[in-house]
Structure 1
Amino acid sequence: MTGPRSHRSAALLDPVSRAWWRTVGRRVDLEGEHAWLQAPTSSGSLVRDTWLAEEAERLGGHVSEGRADAGLVADLSELDGPGFTAGDLRPEVRDFYEHTAAWRMEVWTGWQPFFWPGGELVARLFGRRVGQLALPMRPLDVAHGMDSRVSVIADEHEVQLAAGWLRTLRSSGEYVFSGCYSHRRLPGADRPSVHVAFPLEQGNVQVFLRPEVGPDGSLVLESPAGAFGSDGCYVSVRHRGRAFAARAPVHERFHVYVDEEGVLRTDHHLSLWSARAVTLHYRLEPLVRPAASPGA
């Protein structure tokens, strides 16, 4: 049974969680040495899309809604460097990332039995309550699909600075993910990584994903284990004007590929330490765009 009282009780866990990450993390300087960890946060416990306007102001831009062809990355060639060339990707893969709003997704989810109880507990006490990182727990949760909205953060010349990717369950409208997508070069890295930040109250979860091109033109994005400052998952919290960050033992791998029938698909594996916890599979289809009217 859920309701306002149970939500208030669960909310008491939030400051405890932030205190834990302050304890296990390190003090960071977001304006200097650790500027690569600068990312949006939420001013309140309910996240959803509340962080967009504030992040646009921080970046000196504005939020642009309704772009039919908006993408998570304006141009994947911005990730080019030693070991990665966007031009080697299949056109469908590249089009999805550069024009994400023009694609529709269907998703299936499969939890490993050992991790399912913990995932369900986190979803109930945290994800659904705050409208963030609410991983689907059962196949029927996503039976009607997932809606996708891309909100571009652009500068005065309409150059894309970042993009908010907001995903909700089509059946209920509940938020599943609310992420800020951009690209960023980590300290000492030879090329940029995909940077995804999931805002939370007084903090965020950030994932740095290193891109690779598969032999079939597929895209692999991976956040492996490693040292502080390398690709991976980080939790950052703010407290009394100070910031703290720690690496989290969460590792992800995305494989975006075209199958033998010409359908674009994604396998998303999420692991804790070396144990796979959940797999999500996406089927991606281009939206049918209305034909241009005569004379247009």
Structure 2
Amino acid sequence: MDRRRAFAAGAFAVATGGALAAHASRRLSRARVDDVPLARVRSRGRVGADFHERSGLAGDRVVGEMDDLDAFAREDFETSRVAPAVRRFYERTSEYRMTVSAGWHRPFRAGAALAAPVTSALEQLNLPGPCERGRVRVVENDLYALDADAATSATGGAADVVDPREDARFWVRTDVDTGEAVFVAVYGSHVHDDRRYVNIAVPLPGGTLSTVLEPRALALAEGDDVGVDLTTRAPGHPGLFWSTATADYRLPAHQRFRVWPADATPADDATPADDATPADDATAPSVDRSSAVVATHEMWLFGRKFLTVRYGAER
């Protein structure tokens, strides 16, 4: 009898495990994508502020996140209306110093607190954690073109890389007080159905976290100028993705960036978001309101907002 029970229990466990594995496999299969041009830039351990050098992927220094904002112009996104201060930030990014503060939303604070030592050790996605409430980091911006030859090879010195995007470039944000990397990413773009998207690749051990965003006009409360609103909540290619060596998967997550002149106010700030949840107060960056830009970066997971990052940038 004991043997029969043991056999039955074992068979049940195997069947249950098989069913769960099959369910997970189906979920992964549905999440898999093959029509979005995503970079595969993976680190082999720590990322850090020197990743672009250790990987052998960096070319010459460049000035901005992009050369010309007008490359993203569409009938429904008139880049000629973008405020001069915002355009200058995108095209002359390395000339700015930035302040960074983070607010973590419930119920994700505990997980963020556990992850903070890991992101600090990796020197990647290295934001102030929930235990550092009110901390403001000051970062410098360095940008480098991605070496065209390295971007088409299978391996780099400290990384594996294949990058099908256009005009890719490293953006390295470094804490001026500690010298640690706060964020290291390879920015590029691609065109699909006559729309150009921002396409960001974040190297991590074992894979690449990518974000594809659609740029839109951010209405301001006063004047005719607009800011820039970048969102994954758009049909088609926009979204967050995890890339392994062999496959790309769409994640149940969203991001939104808003960038506007510091002396202006986004028109939608007067309307609270439906999914707003209480967060640790992220200290408002101190900037020269006559010559700077400010930005917010919001993230959602499974439909719940878990992070709001605030930036201030001044030359």
Provide the TM-score with structure 2 as the length reference: 0.68
Alignment correspondent of 2:276: none
CA contact (8 A) 2:39 2:208 kept: no
Mark the CA change 1:73 to 1:213 in structure 2 (over 3 Å): closer, same or farther: same
CA contact (8 A) 2:169 2:188 kept: yes
CA contact (8 A) 2:32 2:250 kept: no
Alignment correspondent of 1:230: 237
Identity of aligned residues (%): 26
- Could you tell me which of 215, 220, 223 is aligned with 2:219? 215
* Cα displacement (A) at 1:155: 5.8
- Could you tell me which of 117, 120, 127 is aligned with 1:128? 120
CA distance in 2, matches of 1:38, 1:28: 17
Mark the CA change 1:211 to 1:51 in structure 2 (over 3 Å): closer, same or farther: same
Q: Which stretches in structure 1 are left out of the alignment for 5+ residues?
A: 1-21, 57-61, 287-296
Alignment correspondent of 1:101: 94
Mark the CA change 1:283 to 1:250 in structure 2 (over 3 Å): closer, same or farther: same
CA contact (8 A) 2:214 2:234 kept: no
CA contact (8 A) 1:27 1:244 kept: no
3-state secondary structure, aligned to 2:314 = strand
Provide the TM-score with structure 1 as the length reference: 0.72
For residues 12-69 of structure 1, the C-alpha deviation after alignment (integer angstroms, 9 at most, x for no partner) is xxxxxxxxxx955449999xx5461233222x1122243567574xxxxx6113x5xx
* Cα displacement (A) at 1:174: 1.9
Amino acid at match of 1:176: V
For residues 150-175 of structure 1, the C-alpha deviation after alignment (integer angstroms, 9 at most, x for no partner) is 1223669xxx9222111122222222
Larger-gyration structure (1/2):
2
* Cα displacement (A) at 1:94: 0.7
* Pair 1:271 & 2:271 matched: no
CA contact (8 A) 2:45 2:122 kept: yes
* Cα displacement (A) at 1:130: 2.2
Alignment correspondent of 1:116: 109
CA distance in 2, matches of 1:115, 1:153: 34
RMSD over aligned Cα atoms: 3.0
Q: Which stretches in structure 2 are left out of the alignment for 5+ residues?
A: 1-23, 150-165, 221-225, 264-288
Alignment correspondent of 2:205: 201
CA distance in 2, matches of 1:130, 1:259: 32
- Could you tell me which of 257, 261, 269 is aligned with 2:260? 257
Mark the CA change 1:171 to 1:214 in structure 2 (over 3 Å): closer, same or farther: same
